[in-house]
Amino acid sequence: MNRALLPEMLHCTDMTVPEKQRARFKWQPEQQQQQPQDSFFGDLSGVFHLQQHQLQGFQGDLGEVVTRSVKPDPALMDNGWPDLVGFGPCGYGNNNGSGFDINYAISRTSSCPPAVAEAAVDAAVLANGREPVVSEKLSSGVGRESLKKRKIDKVQNNTKVVAEDDSRDKRIKGCGEEGESKFIEKNNNKSSTTSKNSNKENSAETSKDNSKVTEVQKPEYIHVRVRRGQATDSHSLAERVRREKISERMKYLQDLVPGCNKITGKAGMLDEIINYVQSLQRQVEFLSMKLAAVNPRLDFNIDNLFSKEAFPGCTTNFPAIGMSSDMTNPAYLQFNPVQQQQRQQQQQPQQQLVTCCGLDMGINPPDMGLRRTISAPVSIPEMFIESSCFNQIQASSTWDADLQNLYNVAFDQGRSTSFPPQPFTGAIEATNLKMEM
């Protein structure tokens, strides 16, 4: 159906090029599995003619380009189908501009017009294979050293042009993206990722240099170009691999960090990761503070602890403390609702951590009374109210008061110390706690 239509469509120059491109696009995946038809090459010749005709219309600098790029064309034409086969697909496939595509050649005139001829020659050589694997062979042929060298510049050009073209004609880009999406639908290969990049690059380049070419043309060339010359350049290959690696790792991190399922994009993910690591470090800080208070009780029964430590973390609960407005996931922080009413010593409550836990001191009624009176006027900080965990801590108002006092004390004593209770920085201007080691 598609295949039958395609030759007709492609031969008909009246057809708009994008339609031809798309038709060919649909057809090409089939081709990969089957022997290419002669009609394929015929189609390409048709396209080639079309391109040539449109080339004639260029003026000025483009005129020179046309002459340059047109020169190899006759040679190609003479060779016949194989050249066309190589010419068309190769150009598209090679995002670095093997120059098969005339538009592409035009865009790259300054850098390498000869590439067109050379690429064409390569294509000719390769196209003899006539295969389902036309694209791959072409790409491998295109990946010759001589071409690569020129492409190095083009890659750099590509990246620059891509950056510049962000402000370019939206229609062109829109077409390119539309084509891109179509391409991605068709092609499930991993080449799709690179083709995206090369697609953008190509569209950028063509849009920059071929202002006079109809925008309709560019997306199609981009389509084919992208599809064919996937990993021709070592640089683009490396870039693609690197990008895939990074995205893979970001996905894994997304699984690690709780509550990041909905966040898409690197920036948001990085934010979440940073927040999470900071929160974990603050938790370590807080727990070390807690243990520092506990430590005087030297009753460390290691074996006893070990029987529990063999399964640590299973029983710990992680109540929620909203560290920041962004963090909605309550699993972030753990807040240990220490219900300790016991005091290690009978001291001024302001300067003491109530969390001197684990001490076997009996409750000192006067002390507790004193603490309660002191804690009464202390209003529970808003952050406490927000957190759900405080439902568990309603009894430990004294502890809350002490923590608040502790916070105040620490605050007064300056932020340079690492002492402030970090888990409560949700309400505090968070001092960026780095590992001050």
Partner 1 sequence: MTSIYQINSATRIRFARRFLISLSRMRRASTLGPPSDEEIRTRTRRIRIVSYSSMAFAVGSSRAWSRALVLKIRNRARFRGILRNKCLASKKKRVIKRHKVSREMSKTDMLRRLVPGGAGMGICGLLEETAHYMTCLATQVKVMQSIADHYSK
Q: Is 345 in the site for partner 1 (CB under 8 A)?
A: yes
SS3 141: helix
Q: Is 347 in the site for partner 1 (CB under 8 A)?
A: yes
Closest CA to 208 of 177, 175, 176, 172: 172
Least distance in Å: CB of 381 to partner 1?
21
Nearer to partner 1, 5 or 274 (CB): 274
- Gap between the Cα atoms of 226 and 16, Å rounded: 20
Phi-psi domain of 58 (left: phi exceeds 0; alpha: psi -120 through 50; beta: other):
beta
For residue 42, give both structure tokens: 């015929």
Q: What x-and-dash track marks residues 290-329 binding partner 1 by CB under 8 A?
A: xxxxxxxxx-x-x--xx-xxx-xx-xx-------------
Nearer to partner 1, 54 or 334 (CB): 334
Listed ranges 7-15, 40-48, 153-161, 266-274: which one lies at the site for partner 1 (CB under 8 A): 266-274
CA angle 285, 289, 295 (to 5 degrees): 135
Least distance in Å: CB of 245 to partner 1?
5
DSSP for 23-81, please give it.
HHHHHHHHHHHSPPPHHHHHHHHHHHHHHHHHHHT--THHHHHHHHHHTHHHHHHHH-H
Cα dihedral 67, 69, 72, 78 sign: negative
Residues from 107 through 136 that contact partner 1 (CB under 8 A): none
Nearer to partner 1, 322 or 337 (CB): 337
* Cβ pair 337, 389 in contact under 8 A: yes
Nearer to partner 1, 190 or 242 (CB): 242
Please report which helix (H) or strand (E) contains residue 286, including its range: helix 266-294
Within 257-381, residue ranges assigned H as helices are 266-294, 302-309, 365-375
Nearer to partner 1, 164 or 252 (CB): 252
Q: What x-and-dash track marks residues 224-263 binding partner 1 by CB under 8 A?
A: ------------------x--xx-xxx-xx--xx------
Listed ranges 67-75, 135-143, 206-214, 331-339: which one lies at the site for partner 1 (CB under 8 A): 331-339
- Gap between the Cα atoms of 247 and 266, Å rounded: 8
Identify the residue whose tokens are 């710990």. Answer: 316
* Among 13, 35, 261, 351, interactor with partner 1 by CB under 8 A: 351
Q: Is 367 in the site for partner 1 (CB under 8 A)?
A: no
Least distance in Å: CB of 99 to partner 1?
32
Nearer to partner 1, 14 or 306 (CB): 306
CA angle 404, 319, 265 (to 5 degrees): 110
- Gap between the Cα atoms of 171 and 72, Å rounded: 31
Nearer to partner 1, 53 or 308 (CB): 308
CA angle 117, 118, 119 (to 5 degrees): 95
Q: What x-and-dash track marks residues 389-418 binding partner 1 by CB under 8 A?
A: --------------------x---x--xxx
Nearer to partner 1, 33 or 301 (CB): 301
Residues from 271 through 290 that contact partner 1 (CB under 8 A): 271, 273-274, 276-278, 280-281, 283-285, 287-290
Nearer to partner 1, 4 or 305 (CB): 305
Least distance in Å: CB of 231 to partner 1?
19
